[in-house]
Chain A
Amino acid sequence: MTPRFAPGVRLQEDKARDRWIVMAPERMFIPDEIALEVLRLVDGARDEAGIVTALAEKFAAPVEVIAADVRVMLDDLRDKGALRHD
């Protein structure tokens, strides 16, 4: 599965408040640190396994642990309407 941002949704830097924010039509929400790490890897090309591999390398953590976290995070973001899975 390859997650991608839903139409009209994107990650945007909020420089004035020193944070990143998910912008969506007429609403916005603030991702926590883990969600932000995942969202930065969502480019419409990288599939879920690719995201897990990248994060496991970055944080030198076991793939199984990261995979479980990423799955929860992607499901949550999809429920919020921010992501779609193809």
Chain B
Amino acid sequence: MIDAPLALLAELTHRCPLRCPYCSNPTELTRASGELSTAEWARVFQEAAALGCLQIHLSGGEPTARRDIVEIVAAARTAGLYTNLITAGVLLDAALMARLVEAGLDHVQLSVQDADEAGAERIGGMKGAQARKRAAAALVKQAGLPLTLNAVVHRQNLHNLPRLIEIALEWGAGRLEVAHVQYYGWALANRDALLPNRAQLDDATHIVEAARAAHRGRLVIDYVVPDYHAARPKACMGGWGRRFLAVSPAGNVLPCHAAESITGMVFANVRDTSLAEAWMGSDAFNMFRGTEWMPKPCQGCEHAERDWGGCRCQAFALTGNAANTDPACALSPHHAMLAEAVAEAGATEFRYREFS
């Protein structure tokens, strides 16, 4: 018995005005000509709702870079999905905000790259981004929508974490995600410039804990830890093919938004396969679903149904085999690689995200 998924991540486009060096998009980006049409997305949303999805995350790239973003939001709401827009905010103006509200948008998650303007512009690779983001937050609040601020943190902005928390309060966010970079794709290429040291991580954890207590009832802070310093891997996606699916700009149905980084994995596409068939029957989902596929030390481990072997993409990125135990686990024979990477980190220059 395969449980139905709860949420769909719709990566509407890989186009984005920002060039963040830790972007979660694949290193080989899809061009506009390869993107699904409005009608195709509308069908995907209907199929997702019928399959059991309750919530949709409209992401990218930058989802508002699509001219049909309002129609897409309306289609998601027509399908009965709780609709979350994950945006950099730099393309949002009052007119677009009004149309998105009219279309039924439920929630906005706005990214912020750093607390100070110069840092934010350098990390995101876009001049003037921070002022536009501040304006976007104001538009969301004026529209009466709930706002989550998403701050991706790493070696080059962790010193500004207290200020990032203040910005979340100033901009009127009800939630703040403090998310340490996860290392695959672009982030892996920039690992030496992004990976924090242990002292930075411990400081960040203390700052988050103190802020949670100080702002209880006003700001909820979710904290994603970097697993390079962990002894246990994260239960990636809550387990492969258990809760969650993603659709890429070109229509590939993915168990995780980074799954295309696993060389050789073949994906069903919504242009020729229904979402239900892809979820239940495709090799990409079934390959790592449950616990039977697991090698030792995962096989028979007491944590097997808690962390589900960790992250497949990280196992592939670091060991060349997606079926290995995630090296973030202290029981993995490859675990020492992570400490070595931490010891080597310290570069300052970024390799920015770009179309090849």
- Chain A residues near B (Cβ < 8 Å): 6-8, 10, 12-17, 21, 23, 25-26, 28
Contacts and interface: CB of A to CB of B under 8 A. Distances in A.
Contact of A8 (B52, B54, B145): B145
Contacts of B119: none
Contacts of B92: none
Given A14-B52, A21-B54, 7 more contacts: A6-B146, A12-B54, A13-B80, A25-B174, A26-B109, A26-B175, A26-B222
Contact of A26 (B51, B52, B107, B144): B107
Contacts of B109: 26
Nearest to B4: A16
Nearest to B82: A23
A37 to B, nearest CB: 21
A8 B50 CA distance: 22
The 4 nearest A-B residue pairs measured at CB: A16-B52, A8-B146, A23-B82, A25-B107
**Which label, helix, strand, loop or mixed, suits the secondary structure of the B interface?**
mixed
B104 to A, nearest CB: 10
Interface of B: 4, 49-52, 54-55, 80, 82, 84, 106-107, 109, 144-146, 148, 174-175, 222
A15 B49 CA distance: 8
A23 B49 CA distance: 14
B139 to A, nearest CB: 14
B55 A28 contact: yes
Nearest to A14: B54
6 contacts: A10-B82, A15-B50, A16-B52, A23-B106, A25-B107, A26-B84
